[in-house]
Amino acid sequence: MVDQPLRSWVAAANEADCDFPIQNLPYGVFSVGGQAPRCGVAIGDMILDLAECEARGLVDAGGAFGRPVLNDFIDQGRGAWDNMRTRLTTLLAEDGDRSLPLVPMADATLHLPIRVAEFTDFYASRNHAFNVGVLFRGPENALPAQWTHMPIGYNGRASSVVVSGTPIRRPMGQVKGEDGPLWTACRRLDLEMELGAIVGAGSRMGQRIGVDQAEDMIFGYVLLNDWSARDIQAWEYQPLGPFQSKALGTTISPWIVTQAALEPFRCEGAERLNPLLPYLQEKRPGFYDLTLGWTMNGQRMAQTNYNVMYYSSAQQLAHHAVSGCPMRVGDLLGTGTISGPALDQTGALLEMTQGGKTPVQVGAEQRTFIEDGDEIGLYGYAQGDGYRIGFGPCTGKIIPAQE
């Protein structure tokens, strides 16, 4: 006899292609009409109002769910996360409480789910790193010598992290001209399809954390698009790396899919080229069998899997703290662009168009990079038996530069 998947009394949650079945229960922040933002959980095509659940005494998060970000709940730790997941599963199961305060998702406005403490972006896909390295340095020097030994990253801007649906303005900036720098609107605007890890526990300054401890510190994941101005990046990135080319905006999906929801999909990542130092060696694989892809103006452009990545989010977090750098609840760690080996598996136009040399067809038009009015969407899900764990939309439309 085959066990049947757990079902909810919320009918839409039981549809096979629903992103938000009872096995998921991702957290977000929403508002309706002129009401203040508050915390909720996605279930089917509805949102469970966690603030109202607290007011009725159905759950207890110390008042954290009435606040406009999830940080205070996340800060309560893994025990609170696990207990709340168990409680919500009981309430929303087929024989659960049908008087729960549900809000139609179609009626709600979704907000940035956390107060982003810091944002760090990594470079953890060997396919992406090699492809971009070939474009800039040739195949013989594509990967820096240290790349296979440690996660490479840069400190980004928390202030420009925005929720899905927020318009992104094309940046102005310096680019390389024939006789010196030019001041212009970005001409080579790109996306980067990534996964973002939400840090759920802090560490002290001077404290190192092992990779297993780092794994336990991750609350959950969001889809992440690190918008990139490639022409500005090419002029500025030596010797200290990207700066203004990455500060224009970073879009994340509004629902945080918890680590617990993804646990059944844990898997190995890319094959190692050499042994890692002990502080980066994982006792169990830190990757997930996640289908990830992106669209332009509604057309699917590429699709791959998170399991192509070389470094996990836990390895990135452990490396981030190896110098004693303190981590905070609400820190956001981007994986870097997630790309498979083929062009239709790449997570950036820079790779797909070979640095702008080979246009791609989008509807009736061709693209090498993103034009004003284009909308980029990311999608992701883990496929279970009769259900899937989805992230929901992560979209952004480009609006013209302000000259």
| Mean pLDDT across the chain | 96
User: What pLDDT is recorded for position 2?
Assistant: 41
Tell me the per-residue pLDDT of 12-28, one tens digit each, with 9 for 90 and over.
999 999 999 999 999 99
User: What pLDDT is recorded for position 183?
Assistant: 96
Both tokens of 177, joined, read: 């001209």
Residue 226 annotated as binding site: yes
Q: How confident is the model at residue 4 (pLDDT cuts 50, 70, 90)?
A: low
What percent helix, strand, coil does the chain show, rounded to 5? 25, 30, 45
Q: Which fold has domain 11-111?
A: SH3 type barrels. (2.30.30)
- Whether the CB-CB separation of 396 and 295 falls below 8 Å is answered with no
Using only the alpha carbons of the chain, give its radius of gyration.
Answer: 21
User: Residue 223 — φ and ψ, nearest 5°?
Assistant: -75, 150
Residue 118 annotated as binding site: no
Residue 288 annotated as binding site: no
* Distances in whole angstroms, Cα of residue 370 to Cα of each of 297, 336, 360, 367: 10, 19, 11, 7
User: What pLDDT is recorded for position 396?
Assistant: 98
Q: How confident is the model at residue 403 (pLDDT cuts 50, 70, 90)?
A: confident
Q: Where are the beta strands (DSSP E) in 233-387?
A: 250-252, 257-258, 266-267, 287-288, 291-296, 299-305, 332-334, 360-362, 365-367, 375-383
Q: Residues 164-176: what's their mean pLDDT?
A: 97
Share of the chain above pLDDT 90, in %: 93
Domain with CATH 3.90.850.10 in the chain: 119-399
Residue 231 annotated as binding site: no
Q: Residues 80-104: what's their mean pLDDT?
A: 98
* Distances in whole angstroms, Cα of residue 3 to Cα of each of 18, 56, 94, 191, 385: 20, 34, 15, 41, 10
Report which of 36, 57, 60, 61 is spatially closest to residue 101, judged by C-alpha positions. 57
Tell me the per-residue pLDDT of 33-69, one tens digit each, with 9 for 90 and over.
989 999 999 999 999 999 999 999 999 999 999 999 9
Residue 194 annotated as binding site: yes
pLDDT higher than 60, residue 110? yes
- Euclidean distance between CA atoms 367 and 360, whole angstroms: 5
Domain with CATH 2.30.30.230 in the chain: 11-111
* Distances in whole angstroms, Cα of residue 125 to Cα of each of 83, 261, 295, 341, 345: 34, 23, 20, 10, 12
Residue 357 annotated as binding site: no
Torsion 396-398-399-402 (CA) sign: positive
Give me the residues paired with residue 302 across strands: 294
Residue 123 annotated as binding site: yes
Tell me if residue 128 is catalytic: yes
pLDDT higher than 50, residue 272? yes
Residue 246 annotated as binding site: yes
- Euclidean distance between CA atoms 315 and 280, whole angstroms: 6
Q: Residues 350-364: what's their mean pLDDT?
A: 96
pLDDT higher than 50, residue 1? no
User: What pLDDT is recorded for position 142?
Assistant: 86
Residue 310 annotated as binding site: no
CATH of domain 119-399: 3.90.850.10
The secondary structure of 133-175 as a DSSP string is HHHHH-GGGSS-TTTTTS--EEE--GGGEEETT--EEPPEEEE
User: What pLDDT is recorded for position 225?
Assistant: 98
Amino acid at 387: Y
CA 133 and chain centroid, separation: 23
Choose the catalytic residue: 128, 149, 319, 320.
Answer: 128
Tell me the per-residue pLDDT of 128-157, one tens digit each, with 9 for 90 and over.
999 988 887 888 888 989 999 999 999 999
Q: How confident is the model at residue 344 (pLDDT cuts 50, 70, 90)?
A: very high
